[in-house]
Protein backbone atom coordinates (compact mmCIF):
# COMPACT_ATOMS: atom_id res chain seq x y z
CA UNK A 1 0.00 0.00 0.00
CA UNK A 2 1.27 3.46 -0.81
CA UNK A 3 2.26 5.85 1.96
CA UNK A 4 -0.56 8.12 0.84
CA UNK A 5 -3.14 5.40 1.31
CA UNK A 6 -1.68 4.43 4.70
CA UNK A 7 -2.08 8.02 5.85
CA UNK A 8 -5.62 8.09 4.52
CA UNK A 9 -6.43 4.95 6.45
CA UNK A 10 -5.78 6.80 9.70
CA UNK A 11 -8.50 9.36 9.01
CA UNK A 12 -11.74 8.90 10.94
CA UNK A 13 -14.18 7.14 8.63
CA UNK A 14 -17.00 9.41 9.77
CA UNK A 15 -15.28 12.60 8.60
CA UNK A 16 -13.17 11.60 5.61
CA UNK A 17 -14.73 11.46 2.16
CA UNK A 18 -13.37 8.92 -0.31
CA UNK A 19 -11.27 10.48 -3.06
CA UNK A 20 -11.17 9.74 -6.76
CA UNK A 21 -8.19 11.08 -8.67
CA UNK A 22 -8.59 12.25 -12.26
CA UNK A 23 -5.77 12.28 -14.82
CA UNK A 24 -6.57 13.81 -18.20
CA UNK A 25 -6.28 17.06 -20.11
CA UNK A 26 -8.37 20.21 -20.24
CA UNK A 27 -9.01 21.10 -23.88
CA UNK A 28 -10.52 24.23 -25.39
CA UNK A 29 -12.72 23.04 -28.27
CA UNK A 30 -13.59 24.85 -31.47
CA UNK A 31 -16.39 22.80 -33.07
CA UNK A 32 -17.49 22.93 -36.72
CA UNK A 33 -20.51 21.15 -38.19
CA UNK A 34 -22.07 20.03 -34.93
CA UNK A 35 -25.38 21.64 -35.87
CA UNK A 36 -26.85 23.75 -38.65
CA UNK A 37 -25.28 26.97 -37.44
CA UNK A 38 -22.39 28.11 -39.62
CA UNK A 39 -20.43 29.79 -36.84
CA UNK A 40 -17.99 27.51 -34.99
CA UNK A 41 -18.75 26.90 -31.32
CA UNK A 42 -16.06 27.40 -28.67
CA UNK A 43 -16.24 25.83 -25.24
CA UNK A 44 -14.54 23.51 -22.75
CA UNK A 45 -13.88 19.97 -23.91
CA UNK A 46 -11.52 17.19 -22.93
CA UNK A 47 -11.59 16.12 -19.29
CA UNK A 48 -14.39 18.58 -18.43
CA UNK A 49 -16.96 16.13 -19.84
CA UNK A 50 -15.68 13.28 -17.68
CA UNK A 51 -15.51 15.47 -14.59
CA UNK A 52 -19.10 16.58 -15.20
CA UNK A 53 -20.08 12.92 -15.46
CA UNK A 54 -18.32 12.09 -12.20
CA UNK A 55 -19.90 15.08 -10.48
CA UNK A 56 -23.38 13.96 -11.52
CA UNK A 57 -23.01 10.23 -10.78
CA UNK A 58 -20.77 9.93 -7.69
CA UNK A 59 -22.37 9.29 -4.32
CA UNK A 60 -22.04 12.12 -1.82
CA UNK A 61 -19.30 10.33 0.15
CA UNK A 62 -16.86 10.82 -2.75
CA UNK A 63 -14.90 13.88 -3.87
CA UNK A 64 -12.98 14.59 -7.08
CA UNK A 65 -9.24 15.30 -6.97
CA UNK A 66 -7.89 16.47 -10.37
CA UNK A 67 -4.23 15.59 -10.98
CA UNK A 68 -4.08 17.75 -14.08
CA UNK A 69 -1.60 20.14 -15.68
CA UNK A 70 -3.08 23.20 -17.42
CA UNK A 71 -1.43 25.76 -19.68
CA UNK A 72 -0.86 29.19 -18.15
CA UNK A 73 -3.28 30.76 -20.65
CA UNK A 74 -6.23 28.68 -19.40
CA UNK A 75 -5.41 27.68 -15.82
CA UNK A 76 -7.57 30.32 -14.15
CA UNK A 77 -10.51 29.44 -16.40
CA UNK A 78 -10.09 25.73 -15.75
CA UNK A 79 -9.97 26.32 -11.98
CA UNK A 80 -13.18 28.35 -12.23
CA UNK A 81 -14.83 25.44 -14.04
CA UNK A 82 -13.71 23.00 -11.32
CA UNK A 83 -15.26 25.21 -8.64
CA UNK A 84 -18.67 24.75 -10.29
CA UNK A 85 -18.56 21.01 -9.50
CA UNK A 86 -20.46 19.87 -6.43
CA UNK A 87 -18.03 17.01 -5.67
CA UNK A 88 -14.75 18.84 -6.24
CA UNK A 89 -12.31 18.34 -3.35
CA UNK A 90 -11.90 21.55 -1.31
CA UNK A 91 -8.11 21.17 -1.48
CA UNK A 92 -7.97 20.73 -5.27
CA UNK A 93 -5.21 22.57 -7.12
CA UNK A 94 -4.56 22.41 -10.85
CA UNK A 95 -0.90 22.50 -11.86
CA UNK A 96 -0.13 25.53 -14.03
CA UNK A 97 2.63 24.99 -16.62
CA UNK A 98 4.33 27.60 -18.85
CA UNK A 99 2.98 26.22 -22.13
CA UNK A 100 -0.04 27.06 -24.29
CA UNK A 101 -2.98 24.91 -23.27
CA UNK A 102 -4.26 22.18 -25.57
CA UNK A 103 -6.83 23.34 -28.12
CA UNK A 104 -8.70 21.08 -30.52
CA UNK A 105 -10.57 21.96 -33.67
CA UNK A 106 -13.34 19.42 -34.23
CA UNK A 107 -14.92 19.00 -37.65
CA UNK A 108 -17.90 16.65 -37.61
CA UNK A 109 -18.14 14.36 -40.63
CA UNK A 110 -21.45 12.85 -39.50
CA UNK A 111 -23.42 12.45 -36.26
CA UNK A 112 -20.75 10.27 -34.60
CA UNK A 113 -17.48 10.65 -36.55
CA UNK A 114 -15.19 13.65 -36.66
CA UNK A 115 -11.70 14.84 -37.55
CA UNK A 116 -9.60 16.45 -34.83
CA UNK A 117 -6.77 18.98 -35.16
CA UNK A 118 -4.64 19.65 -32.09
CA UNK A 119 -2.61 22.74 -31.20
CA UNK A 120 -0.89 23.65 -27.96
CA UNK A 121 0.97 21.15 -25.90
CA UNK A 122 0.76 20.65 -22.13
CA UNK A 123 3.45 18.03 -21.37
CA UNK A 124 2.69 14.67 -19.81
CA UNK A 125 3.66 13.49 -16.36
CA UNK A 126 7.00 11.98 -15.39
CA UNK A 127 7.01 9.72 -12.36
CA UNK A 128 9.34 12.05 -10.45
CA UNK A 129 6.83 14.87 -10.94
CA UNK A 130 3.68 12.84 -10.37
CA UNK A 131 4.65 10.85 -7.26
CA UNK A 132 4.51 13.74 -4.74
CA UNK A 133 1.20 14.88 -6.24
CA UNK A 134 -0.16 11.34 -6.01
CA UNK A 135 1.03 10.97 -2.40
CA UNK A 136 -0.61 14.24 -1.36
CA UNK A 137 -3.87 13.28 -3.11
CA UNK A 138 -4.61 10.31 -0.75
CA UNK A 139 -6.65 8.49 -3.37
CA UNK A 140 -9.09 5.62 -3.02
CA UNK A 141 -9.62 5.24 -6.78
CA UNK A 142 -8.16 6.63 -9.99
CA UNK A 143 -9.83 7.58 -13.30
CA UNK A 144 -7.55 8.09 -16.31
CA UNK A 145 -8.65 9.44 -19.68
CA UNK A 146 -5.99 9.76 -22.38
CA UNK A 147 -7.32 12.92 -24.01
CA UNK A 148 -3.95 14.13 -25.28
CA UNK A 149 -2.48 10.66 -25.61
CA UNK A 150 0.73 11.47 -23.74
CA UNK A 151 -0.54 12.19 -20.22
CA UNK A 152 1.44 9.15 -19.03
CA UNK A 153 4.01 7.01 -20.81
CA UNK A 154 4.19 3.28 -20.12
CA UNK A 155 6.97 3.35 -17.46
CA UNK A 156 5.14 6.12 -15.56
CA UNK A 157 1.83 4.26 -15.86
CA UNK A 158 3.47 1.12 -14.50
CA UNK A 159 4.74 3.08 -11.51
CA UNK A 160 1.26 4.49 -10.92
CA UNK A 161 -0.15 0.96 -10.96
CA UNK A 162 2.49 -0.15 -8.48
CA UNK A 163 1.70 2.81 -6.22
CA UNK A 164 -2.12 2.65 -6.20
CA UNK A 165 -3.91 -0.27 -4.61
CA UNK A 166 -7.39 1.10 -5.31
CA UNK A 167 -9.21 0.46 -8.59
CA UNK A 168 -7.87 2.13 -11.75
CA UNK A 169 -10.25 2.92 -14.62
CA UNK A 170 -8.88 3.89 -18.03
CA UNK A 171 -10.53 5.35 -21.12
CA UNK A 172 -7.96 4.51 -23.80
CA UNK A 173 -9.11 7.29 -26.14
CA UNK A 174 -6.15 9.15 -27.71
CA UNK A 175 -3.53 6.65 -26.56
CA UNK A 176 -4.08 5.00 -29.96
CA UNK A 177 -3.85 8.26 -31.94
CA UNK A 178 -0.84 10.22 -33.18
CA UNK A 179 -0.61 13.89 -34.17
CA UNK A 180 0.60 14.83 -37.66
CA UNK A 181 2.53 18.00 -38.40
CA UNK A 182 -0.67 19.94 -39.18
CA UNK A 183 -2.25 18.77 -35.91
CA UNK A 184 -4.54 16.16 -37.49
CA UNK A 185 -5.17 13.14 -35.29
CA UNK A 186 -4.52 9.81 -37.02
CA UNK A 187 -4.67 6.22 -35.82
CA UNK A 188 -1.46 4.53 -34.69
CA UNK A 189 -0.72 1.01 -33.43
CA UNK A 190 -0.21 0.70 -29.68
CA UNK A 191 3.09 -1.00 -28.85
CA UNK A 192 3.38 -3.17 -25.73
CA UNK A 193 -0.38 -3.71 -25.59
CA UNK A 194 -0.28 -6.37 -22.88
CA UNK A 195 2.00 -4.24 -20.68
CA UNK A 196 -0.39 -1.28 -20.98
CA UNK A 197 -3.43 -3.43 -20.23
CA UNK A 198 -1.78 -4.88 -17.11
CA UNK A 199 -1.97 -1.40 -15.56
CA UNK A 200 -5.78 -1.18 -15.47
CA UNK A 201 -8.60 -2.86 -13.59
CA UNK A 202 -11.31 -1.49 -15.87
CA UNK A 203 -10.71 -0.51 -19.47
CA UNK A 204 -12.92 1.44 -21.89
CA UNK A 205 -12.61 1.97 -25.63
CA UNK A 206 -14.88 2.50 -28.62
CA UNK A 207 -15.18 0.34 -31.73
CA UNK A 208 -12.65 2.33 -33.75
CA UNK A 209 -10.07 2.23 -30.97
CA UNK A 210 -10.61 -1.52 -30.56
CA UNK A 211 -9.95 -2.05 -34.28
CA UNK A 212 -6.73 -0.06 -34.06
CA UNK A 213 -5.41 -2.22 -31.23
CA UNK A 214 -6.56 -5.60 -32.54
CA UNK A 215 -8.80 -6.40 -35.51
CA UNK A 216 -9.87 -9.58 -33.70
CA UNK A 217 -12.06 -8.53 -30.77
CA UNK A 218 -11.92 -11.96 -29.14
CA UNK A 219 -8.10 -11.94 -29.23
CA UNK A 220 -8.11 -8.50 -27.64
CA UNK A 221 -10.49 -9.66 -24.91
CA UNK A 222 -8.30 -12.67 -24.18
CA UNK A 223 -5.19 -10.47 -24.02
CA UNK A 224 -6.94 -8.03 -21.68
CA UNK A 225 -8.23 -10.73 -19.34
CA UNK A 226 -4.85 -12.50 -19.28
CA UNK A 227 -3.13 -9.19 -18.45
CA UNK A 228 -5.37 -8.73 -15.42
CA UNK A 229 -8.11 -6.42 -16.72
CA UNK A 230 -11.29 -7.33 -14.86
CA UNK A 231 -13.78 -5.53 -17.12
CA UNK A 232 -13.32 -4.46 -20.75
CA UNK A 233 -16.10 -2.19 -22.05
CA UNK A 234 -16.55 -1.20 -25.69
CA UNK A 235 -18.96 1.64 -26.45
CA UNK A 236 -21.01 1.21 -29.63
CA UNK A 237 -22.56 4.65 -30.09
CA UNK A 238 -26.31 4.46 -30.68
CA UNK A 239 -26.30 0.68 -30.09
CA UNK A 240 -25.12 0.91 -26.49
CA UNK A 241 -22.10 -0.94 -25.08
CA UNK A 242 -20.74 -4.46 -24.85
CA UNK A 243 -18.58 -5.64 -21.98
CA UNK A 244 -16.39 -8.62 -21.20
CA UNK A 245 -15.71 -9.45 -17.57
CA UNK A 246 -13.34 -11.92 -15.94
CA UNK A 247 -14.80 -14.95 -14.17
CA UNK A 248 -16.58 -14.06 -10.92
CA UNK A 249 -16.60 -10.30 -11.54
CA UNK A 250 -20.13 -8.96 -11.02
CA UNK A 251 -19.29 -5.68 -9.29
CA UNK A 252 -16.24 -3.65 -8.32
CA UNK A 253 -15.95 -5.38 -4.95
CA UNK A 254 -15.21 -8.68 -6.77
CA UNK A 255 -12.00 -7.39 -8.35
CA UNK A 256 -9.01 -9.08 -6.63
CA UNK A 257 -6.79 -6.80 -4.64
CA UNK A 258 -3.19 -6.43 -5.75
CA UNK A 259 -1.06 -9.21 -4.33
CA UNK A 260 1.91 -6.85 -4.18
CA UNK A 261 3.45 -3.89 -5.91
CA UNK A 262 6.28 -3.98 -8.40
CA UNK A 263 7.80 -1.35 -10.61
CA UNK A 264 8.06 -3.97 -13.35
CA UNK A 265 4.61 -5.06 -14.46
CA UNK A 266 5.32 -7.06 -17.61
CA UNK A 267 2.94 -9.67 -16.21
CA UNK A 268 -0.33 -9.09 -14.44
CA UNK A 269 -0.03 -8.30 -10.70
CA UNK A 270 -3.09 -10.51 -10.25
CA UNK A 271 -1.58 -13.42 -12.12
CA UNK A 272 -3.81 -13.02 -15.16
CA UNK A 273 -6.95 -14.20 -13.38
CA UNK A 274 -9.07 -13.54 -16.44
CA UNK A 275 -7.12 -16.01 -18.55
CA UNK A 276 -8.82 -18.97 -16.92
CA UNK A 277 -12.45 -19.98 -16.70
CA UNK A 278 -15.37 -18.63 -18.67
CA UNK A 279 -15.49 -14.89 -19.21
CA UNK A 280 -18.84 -13.13 -19.41
CA UNK A 281 -19.85 -11.07 -22.44
CA UNK A 282 -23.03 -9.00 -22.63
CA UNK A 283 -24.49 -6.24 -24.81
CA UNK A 284 -26.38 -3.51 -22.95
CA UNK A 285 -28.50 -1.54 -25.39
CA UNK A 286 -28.42 2.24 -25.56
CA UNK A 287 -31.20 4.48 -24.33
CA UNK A 288 -32.28 6.81 -27.18
CA UNK A 289 -32.04 10.54 -26.43
CA UNK A 290 -35.29 12.48 -26.20
CA UNK A 291 -34.31 14.62 -29.19
CA UNK A 292 -33.53 13.85 -32.82
CA UNK A 293 -30.22 13.83 -34.68
CA UNK A 294 -29.71 17.55 -34.00
CA UNK A 295 -28.22 16.62 -30.63
CA UNK A 296 -24.59 17.00 -29.62
CA UNK A 297 -22.55 13.75 -29.38
CA UNK A 298 -19.38 15.53 -28.15
CA UNK A 299 -18.14 13.99 -24.90
CA UNK A 300 -20.59 11.07 -24.84
CA UNK A 301 -17.86 8.48 -24.32
CA UNK A 302 -16.29 10.54 -21.54
CA UNK A 303 -19.60 10.93 -19.72
CA UNK A 304 -20.31 7.23 -20.27
CA UNK A 305 -17.06 6.10 -18.65
CA UNK A 306 -17.22 8.54 -15.75
CA UNK A 307 -20.77 7.44 -14.96
CA UNK A 308 -19.92 3.76 -15.32
CA UNK A 309 -17.00 4.02 -12.87
CA UNK A 310 -18.95 6.22 -10.45
CA UNK A 311 -21.78 3.71 -10.19
CA UNK A 312 -19.36 0.82 -9.77
CA UNK A 313 -17.72 2.74 -6.93
CA UNK A 314 -21.19 3.09 -5.41
CA UNK A 315 -21.54 -0.71 -5.42
CA UNK A 316 -23.79 -1.18 -8.46
CA UNK A 317 -23.74 -4.40 -10.46
CA UNK A 318 -21.90 -4.21 -13.79
CA UNK A 319 -25.01 -4.23 -15.95
CA UNK A 320 -26.74 -1.64 -13.74
CA UNK A 321 -23.69 0.63 -13.95
CA UNK A 322 -23.65 0.31 -17.74
CA UNK A 323 -27.37 1.11 -17.96
CA UNK A 324 -26.73 4.24 -15.90
CA UNK A 325 -23.82 5.10 -18.22
CA UNK A 326 -26.00 4.61 -21.31
CA UNK A 327 -28.65 6.91 -19.82
CA UNK A 328 -26.05 9.57 -18.98
CA UNK A 329 -24.60 9.43 -22.51
CA UNK A 330 -28.12 9.82 -23.90
CA UNK A 331 -28.70 12.87 -21.71
CA UNK A 332 -25.35 14.30 -22.78
CA UNK A 333 -26.56 14.34 -26.40
CA UNK A 334 -29.33 16.70 -25.30
CA UNK A 335 -26.90 19.27 -23.84
CA UNK A 336 -24.50 21.64 -25.58
CA UNK A 337 -20.99 21.62 -24.15
CA UNK A 338 -19.61 20.89 -20.69
CA UNK A 339 -20.70 24.08 -18.93
CA UNK A 340 -23.69 23.23 -16.77
CA UNK A 341 -23.54 19.60 -17.93
CA UNK A 342 -23.44 18.08 -14.43
CA UNK A 343 -26.70 19.88 -13.56
CA UNK A 344 -28.29 18.56 -16.74
CA UNK A 345 -27.13 14.98 -16.11
CA UNK A 346 -28.67 15.12 -12.64
CA UNK A 347 -31.94 16.30 -14.15
CA UNK A 348 -31.60 19.82 -12.71
CA UNK A 349 -32.01 23.12 -14.48
CA UNK A 350 -28.59 24.47 -15.44
CA UNK A 351 -27.68 27.88 -14.09
CA UNK A 352 -25.13 28.51 -16.90
Could you read off the pLDDT of 107-132 as tens digits, one per residue? 776 666 677 788 888 999 999 999 99
The one-character DSSP state at 111 is S
pLDDT value, residue 282:
75
Could you tell me which residue, 193 or 110, shows the higher pLDDT? Answer: 193
Cα 13 from Cα 21, distance rounded (Å)? 19
Among 7-11, 287-291, 312-316, the least confident range: 7-11
Based on the number of CB atoms within 10 Å of its own CB, is 242 exposed (0-12), middle (13-18) or buried (19 or more)?
A: buried
pLDDT value, residue 244:
93
The pLDDT tens digits of the residues spanning 11-35 come to: 555 578 999 999 999 998 887 766 6
Q: Please calculate the CA angle 105-241-60 and round it to the nearest 5 degrees.
A: 80
pLDDT value, residue 350:
54
pLDDT average, residue stretch 177-201:
88
Smallest CA-to-CA distance from 269 within 200, 183, 336 is with 200
Asked whether residue 81 carries a pLDDT value surpassing 70, the answer given is yes
Percent of the chain with pLDDT over 90: 58
Asked whether residue 202 carries a pLDDT value surpassing 90, the answer given is yes
Say which CATH number the domain at 221 has: 3.40.1190.20
Q: Which of 84-98, 267-281, 324-338 has the highest mean pLDDT?
A: 84-98
pLDDT value, residue 151:
96
Cα 255 from Cα 278, distance rounded (Å)? 16
pLDDT value, residue 4:
41
Residue 214 lies in a domain: yes
Residue 15 lies in a domain: yes
pLDDT value, residue 112:
62
CB atoms within 10 A of CB 109: 9
Cα 49 from Cα 352, distance rounded (Å)? 15
The pLDDT tens digits of the residues spanning 31-68 come to: 776 665 567 778 888 999 999 999 999 999 999 999 99
* 22 touches 64 (CB < 8 A): yes
pLDDT average, residue stretch 228-238:
92
Residue 143 lies in a domain: yes
The torsion angles phi and psi of 325, rounded to 5 degrees, stand at -65, -40
Residue 72 lies in a domain: yes
Domain count, the chain: 1
Residue 351 lies in a domain: no
Could you tell me which residue, 193 or 287, shows the higher pLDDT? Answer: 193
Asked whether residue 270 carries a pLDDT value surpassing 60, the answer given is no
pLDDT value, residue 296:
73
Asked whether residue 237 carries a pLDDT value surpassing 70, the answer given is yes
Among 24-28, 94-98, 262-266, the least confident range: 262-266
Residue 14 lies in a domain: yes
Residue 126 lies in a domain: yes
Residue 279 lies in a domain: yes
What are the Cα distances from residue 6, in Å, to 50, 61, 92, 213? 28, 19, 20, 37
Asked whether residue 274 carries a pLDDT value surpassing 80, the answer given is no
Cα 94 from Cα 163, distance rounded (Å)? 21
pLDDT average, residue stretch 92-96:
97
pLDDT value, residue 215:
79
pLDDT value, residue 295:
67
Classify 114 as helix, strand or coil.
strand
Cα 160 from Cα 131, distance rounded (Å)? 8
pLDDT value, residue 130:
98
Find the domain containing 197 and state its range: 3-345
Based on the number of CB atoms within 10 Å of its own CB, is 189 exposed (0-12), middle (13-18) or buried (19 or more)?
A: exposed
Amino acid sequence: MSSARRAAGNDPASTRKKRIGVIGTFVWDVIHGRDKRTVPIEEWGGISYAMSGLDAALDDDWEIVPLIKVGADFCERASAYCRTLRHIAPDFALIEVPYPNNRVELRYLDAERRAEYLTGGVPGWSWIGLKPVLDAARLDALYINFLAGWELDLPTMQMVRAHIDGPIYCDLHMLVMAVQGDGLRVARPLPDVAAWLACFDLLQMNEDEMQIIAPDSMALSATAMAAGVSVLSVTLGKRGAVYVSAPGIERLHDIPRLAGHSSSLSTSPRGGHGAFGAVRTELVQAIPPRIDDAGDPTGCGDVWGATHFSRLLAGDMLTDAIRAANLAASRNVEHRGASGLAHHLRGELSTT
